[in-house]
């Protein structure tokens, strides 16, 4: 104990000889080290990664796609943001739904949007949805050890119409007529299998995803069960005509009673 005090006194003397600026830097560094050692002074949620622990989904229909997501962002058990927009535009008729680390997914979406913009300028025409999905796949696969990102890429192009591509963690790429992702998706796979049918119209897809009027409601079911999903439901329909967005507030969603 005596040697430690002597060392600190010696170090303090050296810093004092360096002038006020050196002394201030020493005190600041010492304070940072003290805070890092006393982890009980920092709330546990501040040490958790900001995550869009979430429920996202996308459905193809003849002529376009419907995408939807909840709006809750968490850091551990703490709700950091109640109204996050997880439907991120990549191009005019191409969107991605983000789940996983908020920082990782935002960075990937920005990078893909940047690359796709230049690609569109070079082609002098709107990019393909599959091109956007491949860019996501390449980035997620290349940095699979560092990133935590599950992405659904959806949109419309003149070559293949409405398309939905899933890029789960690890960088796989697969096209599916309907896709769900995020922590809340595990609660609704049975519901999806029972209620999804091919050839649905745009209105049926909207009701299937989330209907505030009491219709079929996959996202509302997931938000009821999953503690990391909640807030409002954001919906978007993407067709050749363009984008239609809507929001269903929490008090407009159907309620369920758990046993």
**Over the stretch 182-203, which tens digit does the pLDDT of each residue have?**
999 999 999 999 999 999 999 9
CA 51 to chain centre: 7
Beta bridge partners of 97: 87, 152
Catalytic status, residue 84: no
Q: Determine the Cα–Cα distance for residues 14 and 145; give it in Å rounded to an integer.
A: 44
**Lookup: tokens for 97:** 């739904």
Measured distance between the N- and C-terminal CA atoms of the chain, rounded to whole angstroms: 59
**Lookup: tokens for 83:** 């109204």
pLDDT band at 56 (very low <50, low <70, confident <90, very high): very high
pLDDT at position 153: 98
Q: Determine the Cα–Cα distance for residues 162 and 157; give it in Å rounded to an integer.
A: 7
**Average pLDDT score over the chain:** 84
Cβ atoms within 10 Å, residue 82: 13
pLDDT band at 75 (very low <50, low <70, confident <90, very high): confident
Q: Determine the Cα–Cα distance for residues 212 and 108; give it in Å rounded to an integer.
A: 32
pLDDT at position 117: 95
Q: Determine the Cα–Cα distance for residues 2 and 250; give it in Å rounded to an integer.
A: 62
Q: Determine the Cα–Cα distance for residues 174 and 66; give it in Å rounded to an integer.
A: 18
Average pLDDT over residues 28-38: 58
pLDDT at position 245: 95
- Phi/psi for 69 (5° steps) reads -160, 155
Select which of 4, 52, 54, 166 is catalytic.
54
Confidence (pTM): 0.79
Q: Which of 85-89, 98-102, 119-123, 250-254 has the lowest mean pLDDT?
A: 250-254
pLDDT band at 14 (very low <50, low <70, confident <90, very high): very low
Cβ atoms within 10 Å, residue 211: 22
The pLDDT tens digits of the residues spanning 167-178 come to 999 999 999 999
């Amino acid at each position: 104990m005596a040697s430690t005090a002597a060392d600190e006194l010696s170090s303090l003397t050296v810093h004092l000889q360096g002038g006020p600026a050196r002394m201030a830097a020493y005190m600041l560094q010492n304070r940072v080290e003290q805070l890092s050692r006393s982890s009980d002074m920092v709330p546990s949620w501040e040490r958790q990664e900001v995550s869009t622990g979430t429920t996202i989904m996308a459905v193809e229909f003849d002529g376009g796609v419907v995408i939807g997501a909840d709006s809750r962002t968490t850091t551990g058990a703490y709700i950091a943001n109640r109204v996050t927009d997880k439907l991120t535009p990549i191009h005019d008729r191409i969107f991605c739904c983000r789940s996983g680390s908020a920082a990782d997914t935002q960075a990937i979406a920005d990078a893909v949007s940047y690359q796709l913009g230049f690609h569109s300028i070079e082609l002098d025409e709107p990019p393909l949805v599959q091109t956007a999905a491949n860019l996501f796949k390449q980035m997620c696969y290349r940095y699979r050890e560092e990133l935590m990102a599950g992405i659904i890429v959806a949109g419309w192009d003149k070559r293949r119409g409405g398309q939905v591509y899933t890029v789960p963690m690890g960088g796989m790429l697969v096209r599916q007529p309907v896709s769900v992702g995020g922590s809340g998706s595990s609660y609704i796979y049975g519901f999806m299998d029972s209620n999804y049918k091919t050839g649905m119209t745009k209105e049926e897809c909207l009701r299937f995803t989330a209907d505030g009027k009491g219709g079929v409601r996959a996202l509302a079911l997931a938000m009821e069960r999953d503690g990391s999903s909640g807030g409002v439901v954001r919906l978007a329909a993407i067709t050749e005509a363009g984008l239609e967005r809507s929001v269903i507030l929490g008090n407009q969603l159907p309620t369920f009673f758990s046993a």
